[in-house]
Amino acid sequence: MAVNEFDEFRKQYEKTFIRIKFENTNVYKVVNILACISDDEKNPYFVIHNPEIGQCAIKWNDTRQSLDYSFPKVGLFNHKHGFLLFHRFPERQWKRGITSANSHIGNPLWSIYTRIPDYRRLNFEFPSITYSVLESAFHGYYPTNIDDAIYEIESESICGVCINGTFGITKNPMLQKEYLFWKSLSIIGTVDVRTRTIEVIEPVFRQEVQDFLKRKQEFDWKLR
C-alpha cells in the first residue's frame, strides 16, 4: 500500500464522519475519524469513535473495502420528535467526509416550537451534525401516506413528520384541529383532516403538491 494513499485519506477524512461496516455485522455505522496515524508505513491505522463501540483503532489495510464515504440524501428526514433538513455546501473544501465545513443540519420547526404549549417537554436537540442525527438521515424512514403521518403525530405526541425528502406535516400551534403543510424549510399550506383537503397558500407550489398526491396515490385528498 502506497503511503501517499493513506496520507490522502488523512487529509480528506480526518476529523470527519464516515460509515464503516464492521466484521460482525452487515450494517454500516456512522463513525468519527479522530486521527490517522502512519508511524508504521506498512500498516497505518486510524482511530474512530462511535457511541455504541466507544473508541478504537482500525488497521487501514484491513478495512478499506468496508468504508462508505457517501452522504445522506439532501432533503428532509424524520428524527425524534420532528423532522430535520440535511443540506450540503458546494464542495470547495478539502475535506470529503461529513463535517460542518461541507454539510448543515437545519430544523424547519424552530419557528413554531415556542407556540406549542409545554414545548420544552419535546426535548428536541439543537440541530447539529451528530451520530444520531446522521443515522436518522441515512436510514430515511418515511410514513406510507398522509393518514399514517397524521396518526404518528397524534399517537406519539410529536411535532411533525416528513412524508418524503421534500414535504412534511406538523401541528398548527394556533389551531389544534389543523395541520401545516411544509416544503423543505417553508410552510406552503394547511391540512384539514375533516374535509381531507390541502390548501396551498403559495400558488407556485400547487402543481408540485398535485404531482406528489398523484405519485403517492392519495386520491381521497384534494387541493383547494
- How does residue 210 score in pLDDT terms, banded at 50, 70 and 90? very high
- Exposed/middle/buried for residue 177 (C-beta within 10 Å: 0-12, 13-18, 19+): exposed
Q: What is the pLDDT of residues 180-196, one digit of tens each?
A: 999 998 999 999 999 99
- 35 & 86 share domain: no
Q: To the nearest whole number, what is the mean pLDDT of the chain?
A: 86
Give 172's strand partners: 175
- 94 & 181 share domain: yes
**Structure letter (DSSP) for residue 139:** H
The model's pTM: 0.88
- 58 & 87 share domain: no
| Torsions phi, psi for 150 (to 5 deg) | -65, -40
- How does residue 202 score in pLDDT terms, banded at 50, 70 and 90? confident
> What integer pLDDT is reported at residue 1 of this predicted model?
44
Residue that finishes a domain, picked among 51, 68, 85 = 68
Mean pLDDT across 74-80:
93
What CATH number should be reported for the domain holding residue 9? Answer: 2.30.30
**Residue 123 and residue 136: Cα distance in Å, rounded?**
17
- 180 & 210 share domain: yes
